[in-house]
Structure 1
């Protein structure tokens, strides 16, 4: 009965997410349902456990969500994101249309632009070049998913996306953790994903299928749409995020910097500088990126009064939905993990001892929870808040570098997260005017199957060679 309540709650969470209901509302309801089925009083469970853990997550990661959303919105409204996407796609040409779309998405994502902004910025140009090259339109969502939802989100060292930031606070690592294995994983994911999409293109064209007749959300790019900032200038804010993040990662923070705060007895204060130094570096990098984006793109904002305010405010308000969705999932996960019935599930996951390290246990746990919640950041946050201490202790016992725990957790979050009920997948299909039937096969292959297999490959490489990068 104890495990049944947990399983029922998990499947109901997956169902409501798939149906488009807000997890901000339903995550606490379903967490309290599971708790009540195991005899726990719902009110203390909600106020002292669910809310405490949710607020703790907001305290740690809200600045990253906020600054990333603001940067993305400024890049979008100034036309800088469009400028970069247009230049890459035009430079590579229609013969390499698939690679062009993937690279355009990858560069924007690696520079800190949010995934949703990338979808809106790249799709019009991707559709134009696919139409010109007579490549089936149904492949566009797979190409965008490969460039935005995979290697630059979780694998390439230094990526400012939240999926690479979350493990820092649990393992005391930074955004460049296990850089060489992360880079290898990125190359494998990019290569295999492009190979899949090119094979699909050739197969379709051999069968006589072209771009197709489409009317839903079919973009028409006018000459006025291309009046955007110079693409080189547009790249500067993104480069600044990466460079400043790297520089501040190597900065020698005073290990006693938190001492003045300890007498305050703040309940959510982190125990050591190393657990937040990576977040600090990322925050500073994003601040510099936002300032540069505003400075360079200001004169390209719409001429109506208040354009800058609207861009900044819209980005800030948009970040609230993202952070609260994930924080609610974290609160949910912590309620579930506190239940007596979860102990047997946790024991099973921790007893996955393949390879003699916690990597396989961590990889499958994060993947499963990301798939259930339909969220890379939510699933990983739940998994790490529940089991990171055990995985880290296990790693220390066998001499495993915590950087590899970081990289594997990040990569695993970008595996099963793109199940059909994932919000980014649903948005991507809506923007492209496609359906799950038409395009999910390619989204699933490029952003779920290939990253999952690449993650296993990375673990095998470490197991055989001992190389952590």
Structure 2
């Protein structure tokens, strides 16, 4: 019964998300409904002590990233840089290769360390321009961005600085470069199969005479650049490079400047307790925030007039989008925390642990928990915290290197995490102005490809011993 309650809560939230209802409203309803059916007395304590605590904690850490990411995307749009990059891309690869162009831009940013959420805000103006000029349906933009940002550069390619590739290092004693051959092959598999699928969808739309969009899909469209001469594409792409480079530099410099922790006294008279910051837990966030500020400053240096002329109205829409995206994701985070605290979740974890093959056991467990919580990092953290010792013992008994465990766990976390209630998916759809009904089908297809890739690399390991 406990398992059915968890499953019902998950299905309910996916259903309302798919139907276009607000997750901000229904995530707590779904979570607390499950608590009510489990132990009615816990409803109020769970809501205040767990759901709200986790939701507010998420916003405290990540809302500045959402806000700066949205502003960065908006100034890129207002400056005309997006149109300049699109025009240059069309000249180089052709309008009909717009999907490949967007996937590669997303991949470059995410592999460079830019947050997945920031990539969504930053790339959407480019994608909208490129798809409009290529007359490719707008509804394919979410699937295209998902392929470029949420898959192979998030957790498959060795060395990626995304959190999904960092979490396993603390459990298995590995580095982010673990299993480079398997990770690279898995990434190539995802890229080829994903591009093939999206191109088939584009060709089908072309055959059917479908254009960029209609009144139902032309929502939250980037404002067309109204300036005269387009900026030089090399200058236009400079802010993106600045974000990537500064993010990397700050990631290295911040721990050197502040050490492992930093404390300060907030009261002039010294009567208040010192505030202590654990630098290792926030260095990535500070680095991204600093990089985005540098990117915004770079845009202003080269395009002050066009940006400032439309900044008042443009910033309002950017802030509104950041608030919506941040609250959506934070509500999902609270939902996952409540579900993970219920007895039914433990039933799921124990049942998954009975799978005999060590790598298949790990892959299914991690991707299932990521799907239930709607979070790749959250699901993997829960799975590894509860079962990493079992995974390690089984792997040692079977002679499986820890590097392979690392790569399987990382890639599995980004498999079924992108179900309809996933925060990144909801953010992606909100930013692009599309609904689940209009665009989720292609995101789910990319999800299936990503999940399949995990079992492909497991097969390659057993067949050839590749690491």
TM-score normalised to the size of structure 2?
Answer: 0.74
> Which residue of 347, 350, 362 corresponds with 2:350?
347
Q: How far apart are the structure 2 equivalents of 1:458 and 1:63? A: 37
> Which residue of 129, 138, 148 corresponds with 1:124?
129
After TM superposition, the structure 1 = structure 2 runs for residues 361-376 of structure 1, keeping only pairs within 5 Å, are 361-369=364-372
Match of 1:187 in 2: 188
Match of 1:451 in 2: 450
Q: How far apart are the structure 2 equivalents of 1:233 and 1:403? A: 41
**Counterparts in 2 of 1:301 and 1:418: CA distance versus 1, 3 Å:** farther
Match of 2:376 in 1: 380
Q: Give 3-state SS (helix, strand or coil) of 2:375's partner.
A: helix
RMSD value, Cα: 4.5
**Counterparts in 2 of 1:289 and 1:33: CA distance versus 1, 3 Å:** closer
After TM superposition, the structure 1 = structure 2 runs for residues 156-305 of structure 1, keeping only pairs within 5 Å, are 156=157, 164-165=162-163, 168=166, 172=170, 176=176, 178=178, 180=180, 181-199=182-200, 209-210=208-209, 215-216=214-215, 224=226, 227-249=229-251, 253=255, 257-258=260-261, 276=281, 279-281=282-284, 283-298=286-301, 300=303, 303=306
Q: How far apart are the structure 1 equivalents of 2:409 and 2:71? A: 28
> Which residue of 390, 393, 396 corresponds with 2:389?
393
Is it true that 1:423 corresponds to 2:426 in the alignment? yes
For the 8 Å contact 1:228–1:300, the answer to whether it is kept is no
For the 8 Å contact 2:152–2:191, the answer to whether it is kept is yes
Q: Which deviates further from its counterpart, 450-459 or 416-425?
A: 416-425
Is it true that 1:24 corresponds to 2:24 in the alignment? yes
**Counterparts in 2 of 1:317 and 1:265: CA distance versus 1, 3 Å:** farther
Q: Which deviates further from its counterpart, 292-301 or 333-342?
A: 292-301
Q: Give 3-state SS (helix, strand or coil) of 1:331's partner.
A: helix
Q: Give 3-state SS (helix, strand or coil) of 1:41's partner.
A: helix
Q: How far apart are the structure 2 equivalents of 1:156 and 1:93? A: 27
Is it true that 1:37 corresponds to 2:37 in the alignment? yes
Count residues with an aligned counterpart. Answer: 442
Q: Which deviates further from its counterpart, 117-126 or 403-412?
A: 403-412
**Counterparts in 2 of 1:427 and 1:394: CA distance versus 1, 3 Å:** same
For the 8 Å contact 2:362–2:408, the answer to whether it is kept is no
After superposition, the C-alpha distances for 1:219-240 in whole angstroms (9 at most, x for unaligned) are: 9998956744322122223223
For the 8 Å contact 1:234–1:293, the answer to whether it is kept is no
Question: Any unmatched runs of 5+ in structure 2?
Answer: 265-271
Q: Give 3-state SS (helix, strand or coil) of 1:456's partner.
A: helix
Q: How far apart are the structure 2 equivalents of 1:184 and 1:141? A: 24
Q: Give 3-state SS (helix, strand or coil) of 1:229's partner.
A: coil
Q: Which deviates further from its counterpart, 50-59 or 3-12?
A: 50-59
Match of 1:335 in 2: 338
**Counterparts in 2 of 1:259 and 1:8: CA distance versus 1, 3 Å:** same
Q: How far apart are the structure 2 equivalents of 1:104 and 1:357? A: 32
**Counterparts in 2 of 1:45 and 1:38: CA distance versus 1, 3 Å:** same
Q: How far apart are the structure 1 equivalents of 2:259 and 2:105? A: 42
**Shift of the alpha carbon at 1:92?**
0.9
Q: How far apart are the structure 2 equivalents of 1:137 and 1:324? A: 25
Q: How far apart are the structure 1 equivalents of 2:382 and 2:139? A: 39
Match of 2:323 in 1: 320
For the 8 Å contact 1:192–1:450, the answer to whether it is kept is yes
After superposition, the C-alpha distances for 1:266-323 in whole angstroms (9 at most, x for unaligned) are: 7x976xx6x52xx514532541343233233455356586755665665455433333
Q: Which deviates further from its counterpart, 290-299 or 18-27?
A: 290-299
For the 8 Å contact 2:128–2:222, the answer to whether it is kept is no
TM-score normalised to the size of structure 1?
Answer: 0.74
Q: Give 3-state SS (helix, strand or coil) of 2:260's partner.
A: coil
For the 8 Å contact 2:420–2:440, the answer to whether it is kept is no
**Shift of the alpha carbon at 1:209?**
4.7
Q: How far apart are the structure 2 equivalents of 1:312 and 1:221? A: 12
After superposition, the C-alpha distances for 1:157-207 in whole angstroms (9 at most, x for unaligned) are: 6667xxx336646754999554835444332222222233445566777xx
Q: How far apart are the structure 1 equivalents of 2:212 and 2:291? A: 44
**Counterparts in 2 of 1:18 and 1:124: CA distance versus 1, 3 Å:** same
Question: Any unmatched runs of 5+ in structure 1?
Answer: 371-377
Q: How far apart are the structure 1 equivalents of 2:165 and 2:377? A: 8
**Counterparts in 2 of 1:34 and 1:288: CA distance versus 1, 3 Å:** closer
Q: How far apart are the structure 2 equivalents of 1:332 and 1:350? A: 23
For the 8 Å contact 2:69–2:292, the answer to whether it is kept is no
**Counterparts in 2 of 1:222 and 1:72: CA distance versus 1, 3 Å:** closer
**Shift of the alpha carbon at 1:339?**
2.1
Q: How far apart are the structure 2 equivalents of 1:85 and 1:179? A: 36
